[in-house]
Amino acid sequence: MALRCAPVWTRLVAAVFTFSALWGFALSITRYSVPEEMEAGSFVANLATDLGLDVRSLETRNAKLDVIHSKNYLDINKDTGELLIREKIDRESICMTKTTSCFLKMDVILAKPVRIFNIELEIMDINDNAPVFRRKTMHLDISEATPPGERFSLTNAVDADVGANSIKTYYLSESKYFNIDIQTGSDGSKYVDLVLSGHLDREEHAVHNLILTAVDGGVPPRSGTASIIINVLDINDNAPSFSQPVFAVNVSENSAIGTVVMTLNATDLDEGSNAQLVYSYTLYTSEKTQELFSLDPNSGEIKVKGVIDYEESQSFEMYIQAQDRGTNPLLGHCKVMVFITDLNDNYPEVTIKSLKRAVAEDTSVGTLIAVVSISDRDSGGNGEVDLTLNQQEPLPFLLNKSSEGYFELLVSKPLDREIKSKYDITLIVSDRGSPPLFENETIALEILDINDNAPRFSQSFYTIHVMENNPPGALLTSLSAFDPDLNENQYLVYFIMEKEIVNTSMSMLFSINPENGALYALKTFDYERERDFLFHIEARDSGVPPLSSNVTVHIIILDQNDNTPLIVSPWRAHGSVVEEVIPRSTEKGHLVAKVVAIDADSEQNSRVTYQLLQINDLTLFSLDQYNGEIRTTRMFSHRDPRQQRLVVIAKDNGEPALSATVTIKISTVEHAMTFLETTELPLEYEVFTNLNLYLVIGLGAVSCLLLITILVIVVLKCQKPKPKAIKMPPANRNSMISQRSSTIADSTLISSDAYWYSLFLAETRKGKVVVRQPIIPKGAGYFVSSIPRSIGPSETTDSRASTLEFSK
């Protein structure tokens, strides 16, 4: 450690001795002066010349410039020996203190041998700095009560320059209230005071803005400015005032609580507490007004706090004062007139003064029903009222204005209880406000009944179908009439209007329930005897006087399939077999026999069809199902038996169908001869034992008429006269027996709705007429028309139409 420290101390001692030896050479000082702010590279001096140095030695002796306690602003050009500005020099940054002289000290050091030259460079000031105020803005608060001549110190400006370049004077912007007073300090500094030269009025000029300018003495001079803001402090020297002494405002009645009526805005030219106002009612404001309206003491807002009714008061007066909060408060006054605007808030009223609750339906037009009065508490158009009827449906009433506010409700059209039995008459009263208000009153008017309506049936003519064989007492129908009247005026009684038919009263055939109109049959009807009935039924109310109406009833008896077909040809005794004899040489298509059956029923029930029930040989005979003709379908052969047995069934078209059968025994003979197809009528058969006396009389009468008819036909055939139609007598509609006619054409029986039929069959064989007599039921009227046909190759005479008419 000791070995390392020895060389260091040796060097330090050597340097001290060397510096002491060189200091003697630097005792002389070379001075230069340059202005500040010279540009870099500017020439200051030629050191080589001024120091007596060889320019060439500067490089070899390693000349260098050492600035003491400052930044190196200069440099030596070793080629020329000139001292040059290396960087701009700012005098104010080098010499911080404000002195008149400012030097920059430096040494020029040469080596080989070492030599030091002391150089002082004086930095000369230029006017490169403008005056600057420490505070750019200065605020002063001066009361408007301050007297003129009062002084106020201001912050002075500073200038970094010195001498003539420092601050020379101050200027104040133009003002009629202020000026400045400039003073010089012991160090030459300039100070300025602000002097009040006039009376201040804050309400006229609350803030004064001034500009203070500081100017230095440089050439050209530089200046700096500062802003002076003077706030004039208020004193309570102004009373509050309203924009007008009297305010008028309109307020609608029934305004909601809290509705703002108006906001008073008094002004006070003062400020602060001197301008803070408090609003209040004066003693001249009525208590009623203060109960209805509130006044906000701070904002001056007037609000509704009670119910305002135009009908109670139309206007209000408010006396209001505004007081500031100054030490010595000042007052301002105004008057507020509040006018209430009428609203359409009262519904019109309708009052019934006189009223009839019920009137008869025969009340005459113009009858007074009610007297009505109308009114409205509102005023103007809101209080004008109109009265009308609710005409959603036409009403037989009208309103007649009898006097101011009074109306009469009158009957305008005839009344009819059956159309409307009660009227709810709604009276609508409306005012003319906007929007209009409505009120209504309903009058219930009852219409009393009178017996002014006759009973009415649902139809004027009733057709009732009744099936024959009905049980006695069967309900046929219910005939109900309607009477729109009320109470006893609508209580109906039903009657059958008496009428006799064939000495029989209608009340013996039918009965009607007088209370409900139920119509009953008192007997069992037979279609084959009675077809229809026509009579009248009357309905009568119980009014005074009673009213009635009648209706026509047509009873139609319907046929029932209750009659079995009766085979009348070929006629045979009960249970016997009909025998027919024909030549064996009969050709194909020969008419062997004709089965004819009659049915006492009508229409479909009387339509008879024929069928073969039994037959020995299906290829030999055929049967026409409609006319009952049995014909050969081929010629007989030697193989065919001599006797054939056929069973024919006659069936009607009823439901269920009824039928009858006949057995025909057909015998064939070898010789062609004429056979008389005669059938004698025995005087007594077993079948007669079951017939009553009327059937015997009928059979006798029919037989006589048939014999007479045969004789007439024979005579007509001989004389060949022109056939004449025999007219039927007119039938009585209400007769117990209805006669109809039917015609058998071309040996075919055509049934109608007549009760019974008669058959006349005439065959001409070898000049002889054969008549087959049928059994005729009792009490039958009948009409038979037939046209006989020539049958077989042996027929030589023409047959003509024959007619038989019979009526019991």
The predicted model gives 273-280 an average pLDDT of 92
The pLDDT of residue 752 is 33
Q: What is the phi-psi region of residue 625: left when phi exceeds 0, alpha when psi lies from -120 to 50, beta otherwise?
A: alpha
Domains 241-341 and 456-558 share a fold: yes
Full DSSP string of 221-262: --EEEEEEEEEEEP-S----B-S-SEEEEEEETTPPTT-EEE
Q: Average pLDDT of 40-56?
A: 84
Residues in the chain: 808
Instruction: Give the domain 566-669 fold.
Output: Immunoglobulin-like (2.60.40)
Q: How far apart are CA 129 and CA 162, in angstroms?
A: 10
pLDDT in tens, 164-173: 888 889 999 9
Percent of the chain whose predicted confidence (pLDDT) is above 90: 33
d(CA 514, CA 493): 5
Kindly report each contact of residues 21-26 with a partner whose C-beta sits within 8 Å and lies 24 or more positions away, as own/partner: 21/114, 22/114, 22/115, 22/116, 23/116, 25/114, 25/115, 25/116, 26/107, 26/115, 26/116, 26/117, 26/118
Task: Collect contacts of 255-258 with beta carbons under 8 A, ≥24 apart.
Answer: 255/304, 255/308, 256/304, 257/303, 257/304, 257/305, 257/306, 257/307, 258/303, 258/304, 258/305
Helix (H) or strand (E) holding 698: helix 693-719
Please tell me whether residue 12 adopts helix, strand or coil conformation: helix
pLDDT over threshold 60, residue 299 = yes
pLDDT in tens, 748-797: 333 333 333 333 333 323 333 333 333 334 333 333 332 233 333 333 33
Confidence of residue 264 (pLDDT cuts 50, 70, 90): very high
* pLDDT exceeds 50 at position 490: yes
Query: What does the alpha-carbon distance between residue 681 and residue 528 come to, in Å, rounded to a whole number?
Result: 27
Does residue 321 have a pLDDT over 80?
Answer: yes
Q: Which amino acid is at 235?
A: I
The one-letter amino acid code at 43 reads: F
Q: Which option is the CATH number for 132-233: 2.40.30.40, 3.40.50.80, 2.60.40.60, 3.90.1580.10?
A: 2.60.40.60
Angle in degrees, CA 111, 117, 119, rounded to 5: 140
pLDDT score recorded for residue 504: 76
For residue 13, pLDDT over 80 is answered with no
For position 260, what pLDDT does the model report? 95
Query: Residue 72: what pLDDT?
Result: 78
Q: What top-level class would CATH report for the domain 349-448?
A: mainly beta
Handedness of CA 118, 124, 130, 135 (dihedral sign): positive
pLDDT at 257 (0 to 100)? 94
Neighbouring residues of 439: CB distance < 8 A, sequence distance ≥ 6: 347, 348, 349, 350, 428, 429, 430
- CA atoms of 280 and 297, how far apart (whole Å): 6
**Rounded distance, CA 307 to CA 510, Å?**
85
Token pair for 439: 């009120």
Question: Measured between alpha carbons, how far apart are the two ends of the chain, in Å?
Answer: 190
Top-ranked range on mean pLDDT: pick from 49-58, 81-90, 96-105, 204-213: 204-213
CA atoms within 13 A on the CB side of 4: 1
Domains of the chain: which residue ranges? 30-123, 132-233, 241-341, 349-448, 456-558, 566-669
Please state which CATH number belongs to domain 30-123. 2.60.40.60
Under the phi-then-psi rule, with left for phi > 0, alpha for psi from -120 to 50, and beta for the rest, what region is 487? Answer: left
Could you give the 3-state DSSP secondary structure of residue 400? strand
Give residue 719's pLDDT.
67
Q: Which fold has domain 241-341?
A: Immunoglobulin-like (2.60.40)
DSSP string for residues in 83-143: EEE-S---HHHH--S--S--EEEEEEEETTTTEEEEEEEEEE--S----EES-SEEEEEEE
pLDDT confidence of residue 760: 34
**461, amino acid identity:** F
Comparing 748 with 352, the larger pLDDT belongs to 352
SS3 185: coil
Q: At a CB cut-off of 8 Å and minimum separation 6, what does 453 contact? A: 418, 483, 484, 485, 489, 547
**The amino acid at 20:** S
Tell me the pTM: 0.42
More confident residue, 445 or 774: 445
Tell me the sheet residues that pair with 194. Answer: 152, 180
Contacts of 93 (CB under 8 A, 6+ apart): none
How far apart (Å, rounded) are the C-alpha atoms in residues 722 and 440? 95
Angle (CA) 778 779 782, round 5°: 105
Q: Which residue has the tokens 């709810």?
A: 424
Which of 49-53, 219-223, 426-430 has the least mean pLDDT?
49-53
Indicate the helix (H) or strand (E) that contains 716.
helix 693-719
Average pLDDT over the chain reads 79
Tokens of 338: 């509040």
Spatial CA neighbour of 754 closest among 785, 725, 775: 785
The pLDDT assigned to 434 comes to 85
Please report the pLDDT score of residue 782 as a whole number. 33
For residue range 69-85, what is the model confidence (pLDDT) as tens digits?
Answer: 777 788 888 888 888 88
Return the pLDDT at 550.
93
Model pLDDT for residues 668-721, shown as the tens digit of each residue: 888 644 444 444 334 333 444 444 566 778 788 888 888 888 888 888 877 654
Q: What is the pLDDT of residue 515?
A: 92
List 576's β-bridge partners, or say none.
none
**What percentage of residues in the chain have a pLDDT greater than 70?**
82
Q: Letter for the amino acid at 375?
A: S
Bridge partner residues of 407 (DSSP): 372, 401
Alpha carbons 138 and 231: distance in angstroms, whole number: 11
For residue 216 the two structure tokens come to: 């230095």
Write the pLDDT tens digit of every residue in 534-590: 999 999 999 889 999 999 999 999 888 888 888 888 877 666 788 888 888 888 889
Asked if the 456-558 domain carries CATH number 3.20.10.10, the reply is no
Please check the confidence at residue 616 and state whether its pLDDT lies above 70: yes
Q: How far apart are CA 485 and CA 495, in angstroms?
A: 20
Query: What's the Cα-to-Cα distance from 145 to each of 150, 196, 200, 702, 799, rounded to whole Å?
Result: 11, 12, 7, 164, 168
